[in-house]
Amino acid sequence: MEIMLDTIMDGIAGYLWPLTRISSMFMVMAVFGATTTPTRVRLLLSVTVTAAVAPVLPAMPSIDLFSLSAAFVTAQQIIIGVAMGFATLLLMQTFVLTGQIIGMQTSLGFASMVDPSSGQQTPVIGNFFLLLTTMIFLAVDGHLLLIKMVIASFDSIPVSMQGLSLTGYRLFTEFVGYMFGAALTMSLSAIVALLTINLAFGVMTRASPQLNIFAVGFPVTMVAGLFILWLTLSPIMSHFDEVWRETQILLCNALELQCKVDGGLN
Q: Decide if pLDDT at 201 tops 60.
A: yes
Q: Decide if pLDDT at 123 tops 90.
A: no
Phi-psi region of 31 (alpha: psi -120 to 50; beta: other; left: phi over 0): left
Digit-coded pLDDT (tens) for 29-62: 988 887 778 888 888 999 999 999 988 888 888 8
Q: What is the pLDDT, as a whole number, of residue 78?
A: 92
**Closest C-alpha to 48, from 28, 75, 18:** 18
Mean pLDDT of the chain: 82
> How is 172-221 classified by DSSP, letter by letter?
HHHHHHHHHHHHHHHHHHHHHHHHHHHHHHHHHHHH-TTS-HHHHHHHHH
Which pTM value belongs to this model?
0.83
The mean pLDDT of 158-176, rounded to a whole number, is 88
Q: Kindly list the domain boundaries of the chain, sorted by start residue.
A: 2-254
The mean pLDDT of 112-137, rounded to a whole number, is 74
| Chain centroid, CA 41 distance in Å | 19
Digit-coded pLDDT (tens) for 207-244: 776 666 666 667 777 777 788 888 888 888 888 999 99
Digit-coded pLDDT (tens) for 62-93: 887 788 888 898 999 999 999 999 999 999 98
Range 199-232 burial, b when 16+ CB lie within 10 A, else e: eebeeeeeeeeeeeeeeebeeebeebbeebbeeb
Local confidence band at 257 (pLDDT 50, 70, 90 cut-offs): confident
Rounded CA separation 81/85 (Å): 6
